[in-house]
Amino acid sequence: ETGVTQTPRHLVMGMTNKKSLKCEQHLGHNAMYWYKQSAKKPLELMFVYNFKEQTENNSVPSRFSPECPNSSHLFLHLHTLQPEDSALYLCASSQDPTLNYGYTFGSGTRLTVV
Amino acid sequence: DQQVKQNSPSLSVQEGRISILNCDYTNSMFDYFLWYKKYPAEGPTFLISISSIKDKNEDGRFTVFLNKSAKHLSLHIVPSQPGDSAVYFCAARGGLRGSTLGRLYFGRGTQLTVWP
């Protein structure tokens, strides 16, 4: 356990379904991130939240909707996804983007869209 | 436009030998560099880092070298062990100004396989 917990670990959903991914950290970190990892591609930053405020949306389609109710929890709401959205979705947190700390990642949610 | 590049998707090394993983970057404003290690079905975990004001950082079997003029860094693992088999991601931190504040940019990763 890294201190960042993601649920579920695996998710299979149809293109018309609505589902949510959950991320939780109790490390006292101020920033939380959603990353997408597709096969043979670099980690793609999707969203950044700093002190619960979204500070970056990296041109992500609206079928992905993030929510950060507090600095410990981060959600990614999914609806009408496409098969190409199948990927490993990683949540990460960091104490302060301005400090020399890297990110702490969760184990990810393996999403398959059928 | 990818700012951090790992041009070798895979590397195979015999146990006990040195593993050298390479990473190139394009943005001279990056101020901090990190290596992450990822096992299957797990998230990346932090391995070692180096500030842009240094050219070497060592932690046990792991050493990271930074050549700023060439915009190149490398991770050396000596001696390599089978348990080191994983995907290694290079990451660079955007400078502490503007929209890149603290943001990490990742390479595609290199799959290291250490065989007995």
pLDDT digits over A78-91, tens only?
Answer: 999 999 999 999 99
C-alpha triplet B2, B7, B21: angle, nearest 5°? 115
- pLDDT tens readout for residues A95-113: 876 555 678 999 999 999 9
Tokens of A65: 């909707």
CA distance B79 to chain A (A): 25
Across the interface, whether the CB atoms of B109 and A42 are under 8 A apart is answered yes
Nearest to A102 among B49, B51, B109 (CB): B49
B69 — pLDDT class (breaks 50, 70, 90): very high
Has residue B99 got a pLDDT over 60?
A: no
CA distance A94 to chain B (A): 10
Across the interface, whether the CB atoms of B103 and A48 are under 8 A apart is answered yes
What is the three-state SS of A28-74? CCCEEEEEEECCCCCCEEEEEEECCEEEEECCCCCCEEEEEEECCEE
Q: How much is the pLDDT for A1?
A: 63
Kindly list the residues from chain A whose CB atom is less than 8 angstroms away from the CB atom of residue B46. 102-104
- pLDDT tens readout for residues A53-79: 777 777 899 999 999 999 899 999 999
| Number of Cβ pairs < 8 A linking chain A and chain B | 60
Percentage of chain B with pLDDT > 70?
92
Residue of B nearest to A98 (CA): B102
Asked whether the beta carbons of A104 and A25 are under 8 A apart, the reply is yes
Q: How much is the pLDDT for A21?
A: 98
Residue of A nearest to B43 (CA): A107
B41 touches chain A (CB under 8 A): yes
